[in-house]
């Protein structure tokens, strides 16, 4: 579906909860940025289009709540079932702290040998010559295995967890908090929820005096006002990490590989050049962000870029639009591996809610691409003839659903 036309500068038909519109809205977003920093869109929602305005909203946690998360308008989630991105202070602060301490640069650096070995093993299984779907065999599998390792879950369960996470993210659940099986995570995905509950109980029974190292044990050891987190809250956060590895990091790696396979000169620019590859990772995050927008709720009357907002109104913070703001990024619609300010994108958020897994996502993507370039000689991997980019079906995400390739001698 193409982007709807703007009537008097207002995109009243634009619905970001419709994948057919949200993932194909680049021309519309460019026109909206030129027209206004805050547009009124479908359902009376407010869409924040420009970089400065988006950053201001993300920074102001007093005026704008993220409790509704990515759910469609009117969908409410019980507090104990909310993901990290759906929590507000005061609970958000200690929960975020444990996530941050569990994913520090030191922890991520220590995981690099596991990431490198896992990436190499996955790519060694790709036949040469032959065909493969890099999404199924690599860009989904690598982040998922890393997440399972950091959570301290059994390595043999990684593929099962990836399948559950994929089913969840491609269903109506992210928008509605329900499926045909029932409402809420436990009812909608009983096997997935039951597995996490079982792992929580096992880990809780083994808690001792040793300093916790894995993320699940850290969550179980966390106290808020002297009380441990409710088990349902821990379950939600573990699910958050599993699905986040499947979405953000997987889409980032998929988008990077798609760029390498389609953009002349990019492979040469980043091969054997870690600094250039690191910059290309952020440029991919800017231009093809795995997450397209971030919803917020207006807690009290406020002003955004001179536009009055009333308590109860819902905002869509257009981070993907902000990442292409021409006032911040020169030649904003073009992938430039040498862009000096590529890391100023808003893909991982800004302020108190910036993604605690940002360092991990960047590292997995960089090491994954390095492993790919080591495994395959220049020009020896090509997208299959007739390939057309198809986006993942989750409405707020951007990434290839498939990357079918042929391997062999350089073309």
DSSP result, 140-182: THHHHHHHHHHHT--GGGHHHHHHHHHHHHTSSHHHHSEETTE
CA atoms within 13 Å, Cβ hemisphere of 349: 20
Strands 227-228 and 223-224 turn out to be antiparallel
* Cβ within 8 Å of residue 221, ≥6 positions away: 207, 212, 228
- pLDDT, tens digit, 9 for 90 and up, residues 54-105: 999 999 989 998 877 777 777 888 888 888 888 887 778 888 887 887 788 8
- pLDDT, tens digit, 9 for 90 and up, residues 139-177: 999 999 999 999 999 999 999 999 999 999 989 998 899
- pLDDT, tens digit, 9 for 90 and up, residues 289-338: 999 999 999 999 999 999 999 998 999 999 999 999 999 999 999 999 99
User: From CA 404, how far away is CA 408, in angstroms rounded?
Assistant: 14
Name the band, by pLDDT with cuts 50, 70 and 90, for residue 394: confident
Alpha carbon distance, N-terminus to C-terminus of the chain:
35
Quick one: CATH architecture of 80-288+340-407? Orthogonal Bundle (1.10)
* Cβ within 8 Å of residue 98, ≥6 positions away: 218, 219, 222
pLDDT at residue 8 in the model: 41
* Structure-token match 């436990």, residue found: 186
Average pLDDT over residues 176-202: 95
* Structure-token match 């940025």, residue found: 33
pLDDT at residue 118 in the model: 98
- pLDDT, tens digit, 9 for 90 and up, residues 234-263: 999 899 999 987 778 999 999 999 999 999
Contact 299, 62 (CB under 8 A): yes
Model pTM? 0.92
Please say if the pLDDT value at position 6 is more than 60. no
Range 67-102 burial, b when 16+ CB lie within 10 A, else e: bbbbbbeeeebeeebbbbbbbbeebbebbbebbeeb
Nearest alpha-carbon partner for 120 in 360, 369, 379, 403: 369
């Amino acid at each position: 579906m193409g982007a709807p036309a703007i009537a008097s500068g207002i995109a009243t038909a634009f619905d970001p909860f419709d994948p057919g519109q949200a993932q194909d809205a680049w021309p519309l977003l460019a026109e909206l940025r030129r027209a206004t920093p805050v547009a009124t869109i479908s359902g009376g929602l407010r869409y924040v289009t420009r970089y400065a305005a988006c950053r201001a909203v993300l920074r102001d946690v007093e005026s704008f709540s993220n409790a509704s998360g990515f759910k469609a308008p009117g969908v409410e989630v019980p507090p104990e079932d909310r993901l990290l991105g759906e929590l507000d202070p005061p609970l958000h602060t200690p929960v975020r702290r444990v996530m941050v301490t569990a994913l520090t640069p030191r922890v991520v650096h220590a995981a690099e040998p596991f990431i490198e070995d896992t990436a190499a093993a996955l790519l060694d299984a790709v036949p040469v010559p032959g065909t493969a779907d890099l999404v199924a065999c690599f860009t989904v599998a690598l982040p998922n295995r890393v997440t399972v390792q950091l959570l301290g879950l059994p390595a043999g369960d990684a593929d099962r967890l990836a399948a559950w996470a994929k089913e969840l993210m491609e269903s109506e659940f992210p928008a509605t908090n329900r499926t045909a099986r029932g409402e809420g995570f436990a009812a909608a995905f009983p096997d997935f929820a039951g597995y996490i509950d079982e792992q929580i109980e096992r880990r809780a029974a083994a808690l001792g005096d040793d300093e916790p190292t894995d993320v699940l044990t850290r969550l179980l050891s966390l106290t808020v006002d002297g009380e441990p987190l409710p088990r349902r809250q821990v379950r939600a956060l573990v699910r958050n990490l599993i699905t986040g590895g499947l979405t953000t990091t997987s889409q980032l790696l998929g988008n990077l590989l798609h760029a390498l396979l389609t953009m002349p000169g990019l492979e040469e620019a980043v091969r054997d050049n870690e600094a250039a590859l690191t910059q290309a990772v952020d440029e991919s995050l800017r231009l093809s962000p795995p997450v397209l927008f971030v919803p917020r709720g207006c807690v009290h009357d406020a002003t955004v870029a001179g536009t009055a907002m009333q308590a109860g109104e819902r905002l869509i913070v257009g981070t993907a639009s902000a990442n292409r703001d021409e006032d911040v990024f020169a030649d904003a619609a073009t992938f430039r591996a040498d862009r000096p300010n590529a890391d100023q994108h808003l893909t991982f958020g800004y302020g108190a809610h910036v993604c605690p897994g940002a360092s991990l996502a960047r590292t997995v993507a960089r090491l994954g691409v390095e492993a790919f370039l080591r495994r395959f000689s220049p020009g020896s991997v090509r997208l299959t003839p007739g390939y057309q980019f198809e986006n993942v079906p989750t409405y707020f995400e951007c990434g290839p659903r498939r990357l079918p390739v042929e391997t062999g001698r350089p073309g």
